Amino acid sequence: MQNAMPGLFFIPGKFTKDKVLTDWGSLLSNANQYQLNYYAALIKYAEALWARSNGNPLAINDEMRMAARHLGRQDVDWMKQEVNTGMKPCFACGEFKNPAYPICKSCGTVDPDHPLAGKIVKADPFGGKVETK
C-alpha cells in the first residue's frame, strides 16, 4: 500500500491556502490521490468481508461506508444494507418502512407522527391512490 494511505502531509509554519496550493500543490495532489486510492482499497476490502460474512452488516466498519459515500459507491450491496437500517417499523402492521414517507407501503396506514399526515385522508397501498385534503 505504498500509494494507498490516508492523504496527510505536514509542513511546519503558518501558511495561507493559496501559499500551500502554489508552493506545495504537488504534495497536496499526491496526498489527495493517496486518499482516493486508500478509499478504493477500503471498498475492495469491504466487498471481500461482505462476501465472506454472508452479508453480515457488522463486518463493514464506518470508515468503509465513509469511503463508499465519498467515492459515490452507494450501489454496492453493503451500502444498500445501511439504507435499510434506517427503516422504522410501521406502528400498525410492523413492516419496515422508510420514515421519510408518511404512508406504509404494506398496509396503507398513515403515520400520524409524519408532518404530512394531516393532509392525507386515505391511502390505498395496492392501487397507489392517495386522497388528500
* Residue range of the domain that includes 5: 1-85
Distance between start and end Cα atoms, the chain: 60
Distances from the Cα of 107 to the Cα of 19, 51, 113, 119, 126, angstroms: 60, 34, 16, 18, 9
pLDDT number for residue 115:
85
Among 6-20, 44-58, 82-96, the minimum mean pLDDT is found in 82-96
- Average pLDDT score, the chain: 83
Residues 28 and 51 in one domain: yes
Residue at which a domain ends, from 48, 70, 85:
85
* pLDDT range class, residue 75, cuts 50, 70, 90: confident
* pLDDT range class, residue 32, cuts 50, 70, 90: very high
Residues 117 and 64 in one domain: no
pLDDT number for residue 126:
59
| Mean pLDDT of the 5-10 span | 88
Question: What's the CA gap between 79 and 89, in Å, rounded?
Answer: 20
Beta carbons of 37 and 3 less than 8 angstroms apart: yes
Residues 78 and 15 in one domain: yes
C-alpha grid cell, residue 21: 496550493
CB atoms near residue 102 (< 10 Å): 20
Among 34-43, 50-59, 69-78, 81-90, the minimum mean pLDDT is found in 81-90
Please indicate whether residue 67 or residue 1 has the higher confidence score (pLDDT).
67
pLDDT in tens, 106-117: 788 888 888 888
Of 96, 100, 61, nearest in space to 79 by CA: 61
Residues 71 and 119 in one domain: no
Residues 7 and 67 in one domain: yes
pLDDT number for residue 112:
84
Please indicate whether residue 57 or residue 31 has the higher confidence score (pLDDT).
31
C-alpha grid cell, residue 22: 502554489
Residues 93 and 79 in one domain: no
